[in-house]
Structure formats: C-alpha cells, structure tokens
Amino acid sequence: MADNREQTLRREAVAAALAYYREVHGHKPAYAPGDRINYGGRIFGEEEIANLTEATLDFWLTTGRYAERFETEFARFLGVPHCSLVNSGSSANLLAFMALTSPKLGDRRILPGAEVITVAAGFPTTVAPIIQYGAVPVFVDVTLPGYNIDVTQLEAALSPKTRAVMVAHTLGNPFDLEAVCAFCEKHGLWLIEDNCDALGSRYLFRGQWRYTGTIGDLGTSSFYPPHHMTMGEGGAVYTGDTQLKRLVESFRDWGRDCWCPSGRDDTCRHRFDQQFGELPVGYDHKYVYSHFGYNLKVTDLQAAIGCAQLDRLPGFVEARKKNWAQLREELTPLADRLILPEPTPNSDPSWFGFLITVRDDAGFTRDQMVSHLERERIQTRMLFAGNLLKHPCFDEMRASGQGYRVVGELANTDRIMRDTFWVGVYPGLSAEMIARIAATMRRFAGMAS
C-alpha cells in the first residue's frame, strides 16, 4: 500500500510540474521581425521537466541512476565502449589530459616538461590543463577557411619531448583526422579530441564513418546550454580503452583507486584483502588513493535532463546542418568580401556556429560589421580567444620566455583574432531568422560599398 501511495504522489508531482511547464514555458511567442536573434540557447520540453522532477523526488543529489543511464546511452550513441560523465566540458578536458599523466601508464605517461602540440585559435580550456600540469604547449597555426590545425606544421612542431596532440574540432568542423592520427601513430603520441563544439560531427576515417571524439585516444564533450545538447552544466570523457576510462574516473572521483560506483561497496569483492603502497594489508580499498584527484562528478538532476536531451540530439544535429547550409547559400553573394567557411574534406559536420572572416579589401572591418549586427539585435561571437597567446594569462609566461613554444608566425591565428566572428545556427533559429541574418549582412555590405 505504501508503494502504491508513493507512486501516486510521484505521478501527481510530475503532473503538476508538467502543468507548470505548459503554462509558463510551453507557449513560445512567435518570432516577429526585429526580435533579438541569439547565437545559441537551450531547447527543452516536457521530457526534461518530467525527468528532472523524478530525479528531484529521488533526492539522490550526487551521481546516481540517471548518470549511469546517460553514460550507457551516450556511449551507445557514439559507438564507444566507455563514457564518464563529469560536471563540465572544461573538466572533461582536464580529466582527459590528467589521465595521461598517471604512473599506471608507465613509459607513456606525460610528465611535467613534456610537450603537447595544440593551437592558440580556440577556447582556453583546450590548453589550460597542459599548462596547469606543468607540460609545455607547442602552438601551430590553423588554416582558412577550415579554422582547424594546419597539419603541414606537425612535423616541424615535433621534438624529442613531444608526447601528445590535444586539439579541438573548431565549431563542429572536424580537423584532418587522417593526417593527425597518422602523425600520432608514427611517433607514438596520444591524441585527445576536444569534441565540445562538435557533438554529432562525423568523419570518414579509413573507409568508415565515425563520430568525432571517438577516433583519438580520448574525446570530450560539453553540455553547457548553447552546446549541441545541455544539462545546464555537464560534460563527458569517452574512450575505447578500459584503462584510460578507469584513470579518468579515478581523477574525477578524488583520485581513488577503487572503481565501485557511487553508493555501492565491494563491487570487486576485494575491498578488504589487498595491499597498496605502504598501507596495512586489507586497508579499505574505498579509501585508497592512486592519484591526486578532484571531485568533478555531475549531479543526477543534471544527468536526468541529459537523458531526455539525448533523445533530441539527432534532430538538433540535423537542424544545425540545415541552418548552416541556408546561411552559407544566402551569403554566397558576399564571397568576394567575406571568407565563408568550408567543411573539411571527408567530413559531415554538426555545426556549432557559422564562421566568417572579413577580407582585407572588403571595404569594412570585422568590428564594423559586428557592431552593425549587434545594433540590429543579432548576437555575434568571436572565435573564443582569437589568439590565446595575446591574452593577459600569458603575460608572465611571455615575459619569462618559458612555458610554451610557437612554430612559425601564427599568421592565420592573428588574422582570426583581428578579422573573424561567427553567428549562430542552433535549432532555435527558424528559416526566417537565418534569412534575416544573411539579409542584414548583405545590406551592410551594400551600404559600405
């Protein structure tokens, strides 16, 4: 009888939450010309509200049943054996990198002072874990109009200290995985794919279509609201290597050696009969630490939202592709003034945004066009840091001449910092809104003639 009462109350609570959603969130005002057009935003419905309410009623506030479900279903979607859910995409990058520093990897572990090849044109948390650990980022330039790592510079960036490549798929456009993987295999290097802006992108790798993030040793995702799907905050690390999965989760879960799921004890049946380090024989394995780790777990409330969002992900991806294609077509008349983006050969991008670089002879600057778009209530974004090396966080490192290396002049990276911006293609944008973005740019270019 008590169980029946509990289930009745649960149904009533969920029904009340859904009634609130329908009243407050369920009636989206129709788009009107002149409304603000954002670059991104969260899209949710009754399924997210129902899951979140169920998780709230469980009151299991840390990682729990929804997190386990999401890890399983997300790994299945990507076609990889292992997914570890974390509290942000930035944490995912941190954990992916830190896993490669574990003594358990023997001679292949990354040590302080080792070099990691990356780019400066992007988001800082692709690079931050390298520096925070005490390794040395080696920066190479990117290419236009793909905005990804210039693979012709990889050999020049190599040194006896090189141990890994850690680079992002820029705004959903896959980098040249054939070339990067061949380079890493040739020299015995790790590859971390920062997939935070590219969830759902695919690449034809050695004759097989695969999702980006699943081809290197480790891939990462972000579930921040503007991204391809959301939990509010949240991220994931995925891999095909069981050892790397356990290392990621050790660093995620305080550095512990034990791999028992949260809330469960003695999964391995050897909790009290092992010996580690200089601890007494039989010391509780749940409190043995093999790494200096963190607590970067996600809550079950967030994971519950993610489970519902994952069902929407294929539709989100298709909407982004459709919006990008429409914007690309409608901006073609400006190709003599704007460098329009191009997908990487042998790729099927799940676009995060639409990148534009203003040509030198356009008759106007990036800043002038951005200012005009913003006045017209069309939201814009830079390509994140532009050139990360120009930011205050590098002042001390630059002054000391230590802590990083640069290959070549980073000419395209500097050009991106000066001339590039992007607008949104997220699923909340209608064909009418995309048309308005393009028309506003065309009118501005006409006025600047």
Q: How far is CA 116 from CA 26, 127, 280, in A?
A: 47, 9, 39
Residue type, 383: L
Handedness of CA 430, 199, 223, 145 (dihedral sign): negative
Handedness of CA 50, 55, 59, 61 (dihedral sign): negative
Residue showing tokens 């409304």: 35
Active-site position among 82, 169, 227, 285? 227
Q: Give which of 45, 128, 121 is closest to 91, Cα–Cα.
A: 128
Q: How far is CA 12 from CA 7, 54, 131, in A?
A: 9, 11, 51
4/20 Cα distance (integer angstroms): 24
Q: How far is CA 146 from CA 177, 325, 344, 355, 412, in A?
A: 13, 15, 6, 9, 11
The three-state DSSP-derived secondary structure of 55-96 is HHHHCCCCCCHHHHHHHHHHHHHHCCCEEEEECCHHHHHHHH
Q: Give which of 133, 139, 137, 121 is closest to 94, Cα–Cα.
A: 133
DSSP three-state, residue 41: coil
82 close to 240: Cβ distance less than 8 angstroms: yes
Q: Give which of 290, 246, 306 is closest to 89, Cα–Cα.
A: 306
430: CB partners within 8 A, 6+ apart: 31
Could you give the angle at the alpha carbon of 136 between the alpha carbons of 293 and 397, nearest 5°? 105
120/419 Cα distance (integer angstroms): 15
223/231 Cα distance (integer angstroms): 5
249/24 Cα distance (integer angstroms): 39
228 is annotated as an active-site residue: no
Assigned token pair, 6: 């509990």
Q: Give which of 350, 394, 373 is closest to 436, Cα–Cα.
A: 373
Q: Give which of 57, 60, 70, 91 is closest to 300, Cα–Cα.
A: 60
- Residues annotated as part of the active site: 227
